[in-house]
Structure 1
Amino acid sequence: MSAPLVVSIPHRLGREEAVRRLKSGLGRAAASVPVMQVEEERWSGDSMIFRIRALGQLATGQVDVADDHVRVEVTLPWLLQRFAEMAQAAIRKRGQLLLTKDEKK
Structure 2
Amino acid sequence: MAETIRIDIPHKLGRDAARQRITDGFGHLRDKAVGGMLKFQDTWTGDHLDFRAGMFGQAVVGRLDILDDQVHVELDLPTVLAALANKLREKIQTEGRLLLERK
- Under a length normalisation based on structure 2, what TM-score does the superposition of the two structures give? 0.84
The residue aligned with 1:86 is 87
CA distance in 2, matches of 1:38, 1:72: 19
Q: Is the 8 A contact 2:42 2:52 kept in 1?
A: yes
Correspondence for 1:22? 22
Identity %: 36
* Higher relative contact order, structure no. (Cα contacts within 8 Å, ≥ 6 residues apart): 2
Shift of the alpha carbon at 1:26?
2.1
Aligned length: 99
Q: Using structure 1 for the length normalisation, give the TM-score.
A: 0.82
Displacement of 1:37 = 3.2
Question: Which contiguous aligned blocks of 4+ residues in structure 1 show a shift greater than 6 angstroms?
Answer: none
Shift in Å at residue 9 of structure 1? Answer: 0.1
Gaps of at least 5 residues in structure 2 are: none
Aligned to 2:66: 65
Tell whether the 8 Å contact from 2:3 to 2:82 is kept in structure 1 after alignment.
no
Q: What pairs up with 1:43-62 in 2 under 5 angstroms?
A: 43-54=44-55, 56-62=57-63
Change beyond 3 A, Cα 1:85–1:64: same
